[in-house]
Structure 1
Amino acid sequence: MSKKLVLIDGNSIAYRAFFALPLLNNDKGVHTNAVYGFTTMLQKIIEDEKPSHILVAFDAGKTTFRHKTYKEYKGGRQKTPPELSEQFPYIRELLDAYGIKRYEKENYEADDIIGTLSLQAESDGYEVKVYSGDKDLTQLSTKKTTVCITRKGITDIEVYTPEHIQEKWEISPDQIVDMKGLMGDSSDNIPGVPGVGEKTAIKLLKEFKTVETLLESIDQVSGKKLKEKLEDNKDQAIMSKELATILREAPLDVTVEELLYEGMNTATLKDVFRDLGFNSLLEKMGESPQEETKELEDISFDIIEEITEEHLTNESSLYIEILEENYHLGDIVGMSIHNENGTFFFTLDTALKSKEFKKWAENDHAVKYVFDSKETVVSLKRNGIHMKGIEFDLLLASYIINPSTSGNDFASIAKDHGHPVVESDESIYGKGAKLKVPSTDIVSLHLARKALILQELRATCMKELEENQQYELFTELELPLALILAEMEYTGVKVDQQRLLSMKDELALRLADLEKKIHELAGEEFNINSPKQLGVILFEKLELPVVKKTKTGYSTSADILEKLQSKHEIIDYILHYRQLGKLQSTYLEGLLKVVHKDSSKIHTRFNQALTQTGRLSSIDPNLQNIPVRLEEGRKIRQAFIPSEEGWVMFAADYSQIELRVLAHIAKDEKLMEAFRNDMDIHTKTAMDVFGVEKEEVTSNMRRHAKAVNFGIVYGISDYGLSQSLDITRKEAGEFIKKYLESFPGVKEYMDDIVQDAKQKGYVTTLLHRRRYLPEITSRNFNLRSFAERTAMNTPIQGSAADIIKKAMIDMAARLREENLQSRLLLQVHDELIFEAPEDEIEVLKKIVPEVMENAMELEVPLKVDYSYGPSWYDAK
C-alpha cells in the first residue's frame, strides 16, 4: 500500500468555509456554515486523495514564539467573529467522527505543525499533500510535497508544485520566504521593506537569490531610492524573512505513523450530521434526514394513590397534562413528578385529597421545574391550589433560546434539545373527533417520561441561556411575567352580555340598510357575500376596470376594492358592509360564545411563547385584534366593564413607544431632541423632510410623515409606502430618501443592523432577546429583503415588547406595595387595562405613569397617557 499523508490547515479552511458560505443555522440556532463547508471539503479531500495518513492542524492560541521576535506579528487581524468561534467545537467533533487525528501545540502555529510533519513524512518515503487557504505554506512545496491552496470558496483549488511556483513567480519554493522578507505580508502584519512590492522583490531575487545575499550586495542594486530603502531596513528585512519562515523542527508530541487513517465511525458521523441539520449529507449516506425510529426506553416509575412526604422534595420537576380543548376548564388528565426519590404518577383526585401535596405546592421554598408555568398555575388555581416556587419553565426557556422553532408542545421541544424519544401528544390522545384519554398505563408512562426529561433538559437550557446572555431575560422578565399572566387569565374580565346582544341587533339593522343601498346601486338583488356574484355586478354590469382575475372569476379582495374606491360609490358601501359583517360574526357572536356562564367573564388566554418579536398575543378569544378604526369596533369595548360595584376601568398606554425605542437605538440627534422637547414627532418629521417651519406643516404633510415614521419602524419599502399613501413608487422612494437624509442616525442604524445580522445570523433586543434570520444571506431577493426589513424592525418592536412586559412586572409589585385592590386585567399592544375601586383612581393616576415610564431607562423619555371610566371604551 502506498503511503500518502494529507495535512490540513484547520483554521484556514474553517475561515474560508465561513466566509464562502452564507450564515446557516440548525434548528437549535447554532451557526453551521463553516462546519458545513469544512465537511464538504473534507469529504472531497478524502475521496480524491485516498490518504493512508491524515491530520488536521489547528492554531493553539493567539501568541506564538514569533511574537517574541515581533510583538505586532499578526497584529492587524480582526477578531474572529463569534459566529465562527462557536463552530470550532463542532468541527473538532466532526473530525473525531471521521476518525481523523487533530493536533495543536501551544506557542506554535498550524503551519509549523504541518511543516514539521511534512518534512518527517518526506524522509520516510511518504507522498504529502497540504491543504490550506494560506499561500505561506507554498514554501513547503517539493517533489514529494504538493501544496493545495483554496482560491474562491472552498472547491476552487490551485495546486502548487515547484514547477507551478517557478512558472507563477519565477522563483523556487525556497525563495518564497525571501520574497516575504522583502515585500512583507499585510495579512500577517509582516513589515518587509517599505516601498518594495511583489514585482520588485521577485526581480531582486532572480538576481541575488536570497535576502542575505541581496543585503550584502546593496551596492550592486540599481536605483538610488531602492538602495536607500534596503539600507535603512536591513534588520527589518531579515526579521520579516524569519517571521515568514515555517518551522520544520517543532517539538511535536505526535509522529507521522500515529496519523493512520482507518475510516470514519459511520454511526457517530450520522448522529453529528443529524445534530447539525445536514440533511443532504445524511441522504448521501443513504439515511433519511428524519430521526431514526428508536425504541422508547422503559423507565422506572410508580403510580401512586396517596401522596406522602417522600414523593415531594425541595427540588422536583412537576408535569401537569391538560388537553388543549380543556384548558379553560382546568380539567387535568394527570400529573407526574420526578426528584431524587424517583418518578411518580398520580391523578388530580389524588392530588386534591392530599394535604401534603397542597402544602408542598403552595410552599414558595419548595423549588419546582415545570413545562408551562402559566398553564400549571392556572389549572391548579382553578382546583383550589395556589402553586408557588416555580424556578424553571421549559416552554419559556426553549422559546427564549430560539423563538423560531416550530412546535410548542413537549415532544417538539424535547426533540429540539436532543430527546427525540418522547411520543407526541397526538399519538397518545388522538386529534379532533378522535380525541380521547387512553388507559392509565399509557398516560402514566407518557407523563412519567415528561417529568424525567424535564429535569434533564433544565440543565441544558440554563447553560444555553447563560451562553446567550439571556439568563436575566428568563429569570427576571419572562418567568415572573408568566405568573402575572396566569393571575390575569384566572381573574378574567367581566362582560356586559346584554350590551353585546343589543349591539348585535343594532349591527343587524345597519347591515340590512347597507345591503339595501348596495342592491339599489347595483340595480338588482344579489348575494353580497358571494365573490362570484359580486364580481359579475362590479366588472360586467357596472363595467368597472378589472384589476385581477382568478381561476374562478374576478378578484374582489379588499385590496382590489380599495383600488376601485374612486370609480364608483358602491365600493365604499361594500367595504363598510364587509367590515360590519366581520364585527358581527367574529367579535359580537364570537365573544358571546366564550363568556363564562357562572362569572359572566371572558378568560382570554395569553400566548407568551409564540411571536418571534417577544410580543404577547391572545386567543380564546383574541382581544388584541378588536378593530378600533371603526367606531362600531371601538364600541365593542363598551361591553368590557368592572367586575365589582363602585369600580371603574383604568387604561394606560405608551405614546409612540416604538419610535422612542428607535431614537434610543439609532442615537439620532434630531429624533432624540424631538422627544426630549415633547414635540409632535410627526410634525417634526414633516418639518425636516419637507424643509418647512412648524406653522407651514399641512395635515397631508403630517399624514405622509406619520406613514413613513411608522413605516421605517417596520422596515417599509418604497412599494409598501406607495400603497399606504396612494402615491407612486418613485415618490415614495424619494420620500424615504429625504427622511433618511434628515435623520442620518436612523440611516446608519438600518445599514449597521442589516450588516450585523448578516454576520451573526440574528438580531437582539435591548434585553438580549434574539431573532434568528437565516434568510438574510439568501440568494432569493424577496426572502433576503424580508429578512433585512425584519432585522431593522425586530430590535425596535421586540424592545418595546420587553419594556411593556417589564412594566407589567413592576406594576404588579407596586400594586402589592401600595396594598391596592386594583387589578391588572389585560395587555393589548402598548396598553395596560386595570379595574379599580373609584377611591384608588387618584393613586393610579400617579403610580401607573410613574412605573410605566421608568420601566426601562432610555436616551429619550417614555411617555404614558391614561384615562378611566365605567367601561373599557370610556377609558380611552
Structure 2
Amino acid sequence: MSKKLFLLDAMALIYRAYYALIRSPRITTKGKNTNAQFGFTNTLFDLINKEKPTHLAVCFDTHAPTERHIDFTDYKANRQEAPEDLLASIPDIQRIIRGFNIPCVELDGYEADDVIGTLAWQAADAGYEVYMVTPDKDYGQLLIHPNVFIYKPPYMGSKEEILDAQKVCEKWDIARVEQVVDILGLMGDAVDNIPGIPGVGEKTAAKLLKEFDNLENVLANADSIKGALGEKVRNGRESAIISKKLATIITNVPVQFHEEDYMLKAWNNQELIDSFTELEFKTLGKRILGDSFNAFQTAPAGVQTDLFGNAVEPKGTAKDEESLVAAGSGFNADKNINNTPHAYHLLDTAEKIQAFVNKAIEQTEVCFDTETTGLDANEAELVGMSFSYTPAEAYYIPCPANREETLAVLQLVKPLFDAPSITWIGQNLKFDLLMLKWYNMELKGNLYDTMLAHYVVEPEGRRSMDLLSAQYLGYEPVHIEELIGKKGKQQGNMRDVPVEKITDYAAEDADITLQLKHALHPQLKSKEVERVFYEVENPLVKVLTAMEFEGVKVDTDFLKEYSKQLEIEAKQFEENVYTAAGVRFNLSSPRQLGEVLFDKLKLDPKAKKTKTGQYATGEDVLLKLAANNPIVDDILGYRELTKLKSTYVDALPEMINSKTGRVHTSYAQAVAVTGRLSSNNPNLQNIPIRTDRGREIRKAFIPRDSDHTLISADYSQIELRVIAAISGDPNMCEAFKQGRDIHTATAAKVYGIADEEVTKEQRYKAKSVNFGIIYGQGAFGLADNLGISRTEAKEIIDNYKKEFSGITRYMDDMINFAKEHGYVQTLMGRKRWLRDINSSNFTVRGFAERNAINSPIQGTAADMVKMAMIRIQAVMEKEKLRSRMILQVHDELVFDAHKDELDMLKPLILENMQQALLLPNEVPVVAELGSGFNWLEAH
C-alpha cells in the first residue's frame, strides 16, 4: 500500500465548518456553540474513514507576526474579527485532534500554509502521496511537485475534489502551476488584503501571463503594454512585487517530516469520550466510537447527587426541591435507572388499575405517556400507557394486541381521563392525544407539554427527552434501542418485548417527564414567557390534534390525470431544449446542463462555477439569462413540472391513510424559532402557489362529501400590518386605517405622486421594498431583485426611509434593545435570544441584527394565527358544529365546512381571526374568506 500523508489547514477548515451551520447553529444545553467543533470533527473522521491515510497532521497558524506582516503592515488587515464562538472552538478542536492521536503542528513566525508547504515537499521527496486538505486557492503553487495534491473535502452537499497540477492550471487559465504566484501578484487577493495591481482582475492577469510568462516579464515589458492597462501596470509595479512575495508560500520552514511522528496510531478513546460528552456529540460520538459510547456518561468526580442528578449538600444541610431541580446539573448525566432509587409498578389486572385510578383522580397533575407500535400515531396501535404523579414513582398499564380488549382497559381508565381538574403533563403530548383519539378517548383537563415549555424557554436547539433529561436532571433514560434493537420504535415491535422491560422503560418516561416539568416550570417565570406558553402553545395542542385526526380528502382521480398531463408537458419542454441545444443530454444533470449552456451555447462568458468545478445552473442563475435566451424558459418549465409531479402529484396518493382514506399531515409546533408551524407528510407550507401549474395542485384537496364545501380564510398582509403597528409609523398606520392598498400607498409616498398615478411597475417596486427592507435588503439586493440599477435602488430605499421614518426607527430600536437585553420579543412575549448580537464579527452580528428586526414581526404573526385557531376551535366545539378546521398554511386556515353551517361559520371565522390579537396604534387586522369545491377554488 502506498504511503499517503494528509496535511490539514486547520483554520481554513474551522472557518468553513463554523459558517456552514451559521443559520442553524448547534447549541449545547449549556449554551455553547459547537458549529466548528462538529463540522471539523465530521470532516476529520470522514477523511480518515474514506481516504485511509497512513500519516496525518493538522497545521495551525499562531498569533506571532510573520515576515509578511513585517514586509507589508496591511497584510490581512481588512479581515474582520473572527467570531467569538469560532475562537472559543479552537481548544476543543485541538483536544479532539489529540484524542485521535494526531499531531498539531505550528511554528511562530510562519503561517499554516508555510508549514504545510514545507512538510508536503519533504514527504513527497520521501516517496509519499501528499494531500493538502484546504479550500484555499493559494496552495496551487505547491503542486510543482508531482506527488503533491490539493484535497477539498465535501461541503454543503458537494463531493470532495482532488486537484492536480493540470486542474489548477485549467482553473486559473495558466500554463504552469508556478504561475499561481504570478497571477496572485497581478490580481491580488482581497481575502488576505494582498493589493496586486489596482484594476487588474483574474482574466486580465491570465492574459498578461500568456503573453509575458511571469510577473517579472510583465513589469519589464510594461512600456509595450498599450492603453489604460499599460498605465495600470506601470503605476502598480511596487504593489505587484510585494504582492507576489506575500502570496508565495515558504517551503523551507524549520520543521522536519519524521514519518514516525505523523503515522496514524490508536486513538485515545477516553480523551474523545470526554470531548464528545462535553460537546454533546451524541450521534456523532456513536458513529466514531461505536454504540458503547454514551454522551451522558461523564460526571464530576466526588459530587453527591440527588434523584434528579443535581448536586446536594452534605448531610445536615438542606435545599428546597424546587431550587434543586431548577438549578439543573448540566449535560453530565451519571444517573440512570440502575443507580437511582425508583418504584415502578406494573398494573396488569382490573383491580390494580381501579386502585390506581381512585388514587390518581385525587391529584392536581398527572404525567401521561403512551407506548405504541410505531411513530405514526395515525397508523400505530397502543401497547401500553404510563402515569406518574410523584417523582421516582410511576405506573404502567399494558394494552392487549386485541383492540376490543384494549378498549376494555381504557374504559377502566376513562374516569381519570375525564377528570376536568387534572392538568396532564407530557413530552410531545400531541402524539399521545392522537393515539387516544383513535380509541375514542381524550384528556378532558388542561395540558402541560414539557417539549413546548422548553421551546418557549429556548426556541433554538434540540429538545428530545434524552437531552432535556441530561441537561435538567443529570439523568440518562433507557434507550428504545436497548429494548427492540438499533432500528428503534419505527421498525421494531414493542409487543415482542417482555412486559417487565417495557414497564421500566415506559414508567421511567412518565417519571422523568414529571421531573422535567418541575425543572422547567420556574424558567417560564424567570424568562417571562408564561403568557405565550399558557395562552398560545399549550392550548394549541388539542387544536392540532383534532386537525391531524380529521385529515383532508384528496382527489386521486384528478391527481392521476394531472400526472399524465404534467408528464406530456414536461416531455415537450425537454424536446424543446434538445432542439435549441442541438444535442441530446441528461437534462436533469446540472453538470451536463452547464456544459451545454456555457461551453456549447456560450450563453454567459462570465458564468460562475460551483466549488465542485461545474457551472452553477440554479434557478437564480437561469432567471437572469431568461430574457434573451428562450431555451432557459423551457429548462425552467421542465424543472417545475418534473418537481411538481414527483414531489406532490405522484406522492400525495401514497400518503392516504388506509383506515380513513384521507391524508393526515403532521404539524410540528416546536421547530421554527419564530413560532411558525411547520408540517410534513405532506409539507403543506411548500405546495407552490406562485405559478399556475403549482396552484393547480390545490384542486386535489376537496371536501369529505357532497354535504361539505371548503372554506379558506387568509390574513391580509399581516406582517406589514404588524410592522406598521409595532413601529407606529404614521404614514403606514394611516394607510392601513384608510383601507388603502399598502403597496400602492407606499409607491405613492416613495415617488411623491397620488395613488391613482401609481403604475403597475412602481407598485411592484414598492412591494419589493416593503417586504425586503425588514429582512436587511439593501440597494444591491433590491437592484438585483428588480433588475434595476443600484443608483435607482438606492434612491428608492432612501425615499422609503424618509417617508416611512418610523420603520427605520423601529429597526434601530430593535437592534439596540437586543444589544442591551440579549433578546427581542413578540407582542405576546415570545422571545428570540440573540447571543451573537454584540459579536465583533460583522457577518455574525449582521445575521443577529436581521433576526432582531424580523423575529418580532414573524413571531407576532405566528402568535396571531395560532390564537385564532384556538378561538375558532373553541367556538366550533361549543356550538357542536359538524364543520372541521383541517389545514393551516402560513397565514391561511382551511375548513371542511358543512353546507348547513356556512351562514354561521363564515362570520365566526372572520371575527375570531380579526380579534385574536389586536394590534397597537389602532392598525386593523383584516382576514379574507372564500369557499369552493376544492382548495384552489376556495382560495
TM range (shorter): 0.5 to 0.7
The alpha-carbon distance between structure 1 residues 431 and 574, as it changes in their structure 2 partners (threshold 3 A), is farther
Whether 1:547 and 2:592 are equivalent positions in the alignment is: no
Aligned residue for 1:874, secondary structure, equals: helix
The worse-fitting range, judged by mean Cα deviation, of 816-825 and 597-606 is: 816-825
Q: Please say which structure displays the higher CA radius of gyration.
A: 1
Using the TM superposition, give the Cα deviation of residue 839 of structure 1 relative to its aligned residue in structure 2, in angstroms: 2.5
- Alignment map for 1:164-183 (pairs within 5 Å): none
Instruction: Quote the Cα distance in structure 2 between the aligned partners of 1:563 and 1:25.
Output: 35
Aligned residue for 2:876, secondary structure, equals: helix
The alpha-carbon distance between structure 1 residues 292 and 641, as it changes in their structure 2 partners (threshold 3 A), is closer
- Note if contact 1:25-1:774 (Cα within 8 Å) is conserved in structure 2: no
Instruction: Quote the Cα distance in structure 2 between the aligned partners of 1:732 and 1:269.
Output: 64
1:737 is aligned, of 795, 798, 806, to 798
Instruction: Quote the Cα distance in structure 2 between the aligned partners of 1:376 and 1:484.
Output: 14
> Match for residue 392 of structure 1?
448
> Match for residue 379 of structure 2?
329
2:717 is aligned, of 653, 656, 666, to 656
The alpha-carbon distance between structure 1 residues 391 and 845, as it changes in their structure 2 partners (threshold 3 A), is closer
Aligned residue for 2:840, secondary structure, equals: coil
- Note if contact 1:397-1:465 (Cα within 8 Å) is conserved in structure 2: yes
The alpha-carbon distance between structure 1 residues 695 and 463, as it changes in their structure 2 partners (threshold 3 A), is same
Q: Could you list the per-position Cα deviations for residues 148-182 of structure 1 after superposition, in whole angstroms to 9, with x for gaps in the alignment? A: xxxxxxxxxxxxxxxxxxxxxxxxxxxxxxxxxxx
Using the TM superposition, give the Cα deviation of residue 317 of structure 1 relative to its aligned residue in structure 2, in angstroms: 1.1
Aligned residue for 1:309, secondary structure, equals: helix
1:454 is aligned, of 488, 509, 513, to 513
Whether 1:481 and 2:510 are equivalent positions in the alignment is: no
Amino acid aligned to 2:569: R
Whether 1:415 and 2:465 are equivalent positions in the alignment is: no
Whether 1:304 and 2:328 are equivalent positions in the alignment is: no
Using the TM superposition, give the Cα deviation of residue 627 of structure 1 relative to its aligned residue in structure 2, in angstroms: 0.3
Whether 1:291 and 2:336 are equivalent positions in the alignment is: no
- Note if contact 1:330-1:380 (Cα within 8 Å) is conserved in structure 2: no
> Match for residue 517 of structure 1?
576
> Match for residue 866 of structure 1?
929
- Note if contact 1:776-1:787 (Cα within 8 Å) is conserved in structure 2: yes
Using the TM superposition, give the Cα deviation of residue 522 of structure 1 relative to its aligned residue in structure 2, in angstroms: 1.0
Aligned residue for 1:841, secondary structure, equals: helix
Q: Which runs of 5+ in 2 are unaligned?
A: 1-24, 34-299, 312-328
Aligned residue for 1:775, secondary structure, equals: coil
Q: Could you list the per-position Cα deviations for residues 408-466 of structure 1 after superposition, in whole angstroms to 9, with x for gaps in the alignment? A: x2112223323342245456555548952454444332222221122222222222112
The worse-fitting range, judged by mean Cα deviation, of 768-777 and 422-431 is: 422-431
- Note if contact 1:532-1:552 (Cα within 8 Å) is conserved in structure 2: no
The alpha-carbon distance between structure 1 residues 735 and 565, as it changes in their structure 2 partners (threshold 3 A), is same
Using the TM superposition, give the Cα deviation of residue 640 of structure 1 relative to its aligned residue in structure 2, in angstroms: 0.8
The alpha-carbon distance between structure 1 residues 868 and 442, as it changes in their structure 2 partners (threshold 3 A), is same
Instruction: Quote the Cα distance in structure 2 between the aligned partners of 1:809 and 1:425.
Output: 34
> Match for residue 369 of structure 1?
425
Instruction: Quote the Cα distance in structure 1 between the aligned partners of 2:796 and 2:851.
Output: 21
- Note if contact 2:675-2:862 (Cα within 8 Å) is conserved in structure 1: yes
Using the TM superposition, give the Cα deviation of residue 30 of structure 1 relative to its aligned residue in structure 2, in angstroms: 8.0
Aligned residue for 2:629, secondary structure, equals: coil
Instruction: Quote the Cα distance in structure 2 between the aligned partners of 1:704 and 1:442.
Output: 64
The alpha-carbon distance between structure 1 residues 275 and 710, as it changes in their structure 2 partners (threshold 3 A), is farther
The alpha-carbon distance between structure 1 residues 817 and 337, as it changes in their structure 2 partners (threshold 3 A), is closer
- Alignment map for 1:804-815 (pairs within 5 Å): 804-815=865-876
1:338 is aligned, of 365, 388, 410, to 388
Using the TM superposition, give the Cα deviation of residue 852 of structure 1 relative to its aligned residue in structure 2, in angstroms: 1.0
> Match for residue 727 of structure 1?
788
The alpha-carbon distance between structure 1 residues 847 and 326, as it changes in their structure 2 partners (threshold 3 A), is closer
Aligned residue for 2:935, secondary structure, equals: coil
Q: CA RMSD in A?
A: 2.9
Whether 1:767 and 2:824 are equivalent positions in the alignment is: no
1:527 is aligned, of 577, 586, 600, to 586
Amino acid aligned to 1:786: F
Q: Could you list the per-position Cα deviations for residues 235-265 of structure 1 after superposition, in whole angstroms to 9, with x for gaps in the alignment? A: xxxxxxxxxxxxxxxxxxxxxxxxxxxxxx9
Aligned residue for 1:549, secondary structure, equals: coil
> Match for residue 557 of structure 1?
618
- Alignment map for 1:624-663 (pairs within 5 Å): 624-663=685-724
Instruction: Quote the Cα distance in structure 2 between the aligned partners of 1:659 and 1:619.
Output: 27
Using the TM superposition, give the Cα deviation of residue 768 of structure 1 relative to its aligned residue in structure 2, in angstroms: 0.6
Q: Could you list the per-position Cα deviations for residues 28-52 of structure 1 after superposition, in whole angstroms to 9, with x for gaps in the alignment? A: 68899xxxxxxxxxxxxxxxxxxxx
Q: Could you list the per-position Cα deviations for residues 119-142 of structure 1 after superposition, in whole angstroms to 9, with x for gaps in the alignment? A: xxxxxxxxxxxxxxxxxxxxxxxx
Instruction: Quote the Cα distance in structure 1 between the aligned partners of 2:938 and 2:762.
Output: 30
How many equivalent pairs are there? 607
The alpha-carbon distance between structure 1 residues 709 and 416, as it changes in their structure 2 partners (threshold 3 A), is farther
Instruction: Quote the Cα distance in structure 1 between the aligned partners of 2:601 and 2:390.
Output: 77
Using the TM superposition, give the Cα deviation of residue 370 of structure 1 relative to its aligned residue in structure 2, in angstroms: 1.6
> Match for residue 320 of structure 1?
370
Instruction: Quote the Cα distance in structure 2 between the aligned partners of 1:345 and 1:443.
Output: 8
Instruction: Quote the Cα distance in structure 2 between the aligned partners of 1:470 and 1:710.
Output: 28
Amino acid aligned to 1:362: D
Q: Could you list the per-position Cα deviations for residues 496-537 of structure 1 after superposition, in whole angstroms to 9, with x for gaps in the alignment? A: 111111111111111111111111111122211011221221
> Match for residue 817 of structure 2?
756
1:590 is aligned, of 639, 651, 664, to 651
The alpha-carbon distance between structure 1 residues 764 and 322, as it changes in their structure 2 partners (threshold 3 A), is farther
Using the TM superposition, give the Cα deviation of residue 600 of structure 1 relative to its aligned residue in structure 2, in angstroms: 2.1
- Note if contact 1:638-1:874 (Cα within 8 Å) is conserved in structure 2: yes
Instruction: Quote the Cα distance in structure 2 between the aligned partners of 1:391 and 1:275.
Output: 27
> Match for residue 170 of structure 1?
none
Using the TM superposition, give the Cα deviation of residue 368 of structure 1 relative to its aligned residue in structure 2, in angstroms: 2.2
- Note if contact 2:333-2:475 (Cα within 8 Å) is conserved in structure 1: no
- Alignment map for 1:4-403 (pairs within 5 Å): 291=332, 293-294=334-335, 296=337, 297-298=339-340, 299-306=342-349, 307-312=352-357, 313-314=360-361, 315=363, 316-322=366-372, 325-340=375-390, 342-349=393-400, 352-354=407-409, 355-403=411-459
Instruction: Quote the Cα distance in structure 1 between the aligned partners of 2:868 and 2:330.
Output: 44
- Note if contact 1:27-1:416 (Cα within 8 Å) is conserved in structure 2: no
- Alignment map for 1:694-709 (pairs within 5 Å): 694-709=755-770
Using the TM superposition, give the Cα deviation of residue 292 of structure 1 relative to its aligned residue in structure 2, in angstroms: 6.0
Using the TM superposition, give the Cα deviation of residue 467 of structure 1 relative to its aligned residue in structure 2, in angstroms: 2.4
- Note if contact 2:868-2:912 (Cα within 8 Å) is conserved in structure 1: yes
Whether 1:716 and 2:777 are equivalent positions in the alignment is: yes
> Match for residue 216 of structure 1?
none
- Note if contact 1:642-1:870 (Cα within 8 Å) is conserved in structure 2: yes
